[in-house]
Structure 1
């Protein structure tokens, strides 16, 4: 998400932000409206989604407190996407993710999922080359290239398994350095 700012609005100038530095700043007001300080206009979640798709760097700040709300806005976009069409996450997967909150492996699971997604995106880039594949093109590709795709997915799954194994080994080493870590199962 690294895209330089193209201009500075009055709000950004008031905050002392120099032109061209940092991510695009969106302000969230109590009326749930989002204000783009770069364009000096109100925007919608659909506009924020387009910024994500365009790989633009931005942050969402509470207009009163300055608190960073970027994650909550991104989660709101995911929620809308999940409820608006064909969901990406199954109920079982969501339940598993919830179970990791508060668990000693919470941080490790976040890193694991992030690395896994990164590996999948890299695989997608290798398959697509410089072409941008639409969802329909991916469906056609996957259905027509079953044997070749199986080999690529096997490689991806093997990398994922290796990453998880490495995480387990690190946890085991941490247990030898810090007795009682990770905590014993009850």
Structure 2
């Protein structure tokens, strides 16, 4: 699939997909109806897009992404356990909701970066050379995983600091001292 270039040519233009009342998705870039599987492929290809309601022009992108996740969770091997989903639900309406979303987003990004680094490093390795080391802990992998763990810990600590500041500000507003 080719995508239109934005003025300046630096980034692909934001692809617009219209959702019609009959639940069909229309890709304005290709002038064709597409399926959720094709929208998922846009995500997998890192294609920037937005899904808009054909009548109201309301942004429905998050709704469509959640629908893709729901279908993926329903079929095959789910990514989220029931306990994880229940914990996520508990954060809605909780004072920590904003922090949790940011924390999850940053951790997923850190994990994605880790995965990309490992993929890049594995391109230079020959499988026959790796065979003797498969049963032995690899210092390179341990280093990358350690880096991910440190990033995750740092993000959590930053979140805790922000929570403490917000709590202190809230108590300060009510003239309550620790």
Gaps of at least 5 residues in structure 1 are 8-19, 133-140, 182-186
Query: 1:169 and 1:55, CA in 2 relative to 1: closer, same or farther beyond 3 A?
Result: same
The superposition leaves residues 77-129 of structure 1 with CA deviations (integer Å, 9 ceiling, x where unpaired) of 11111111111111111111000000011011000000001111111111111
CA contact 2:15–2:50 (8 Å) conserved in 1: yes
User: What is the deviation of 1:153?
Assistant: 2.5
User: What is the deviation of 1:144?
Assistant: 3.1
The superposition leaves residues 153-176 of structure 1 with CA deviations (integer Å, 9 ceiling, x where unpaired) of 233223212211111112112222
Partner residue of 2:47 out of 56, 63, 69: 56
Partner residue of 1:6 out of 4, 7, 11: 4
User: What is the deviation of 1:22?
Assistant: 4.1
1:108 aligns with 2:99: yes
1:177 aligns with 2:158: no
Q: Distance in 1 between matches of 2:160 and 2:63?
A: 30
Q: Which residue of 2 aligns with 1:124?
A: 115
CA RMSD of superposed structures (Å)? 2.8
Counting matched residue pairs gives 159
Q: Distance in 2 between matches of 1:100 and 1:33?
A: 33
Query: 1:67 and 1:112, CA in 2 relative to 1: closer, same or farther beyond 3 A?
Result: same
The alignment's TM-score, normalised by the length of structure 2, stands at 0.79
Between Structure 1 and Structure 2, whose CA radius of gyration is higher? 2
1:42 is paired with a residue of what secondary structure? strand
2:22 is paired with a residue of what secondary structure? coil
Alignment of 1:82-101 (within 5 A): 82-101=73-92
1:144 aligns with 2:134: yes
Gaps of at least 5 residues in structure 2 are 6-10, 124-130, 174-178
The alignment's TM-score, normalised by the length of structure 1, stands at 0.76
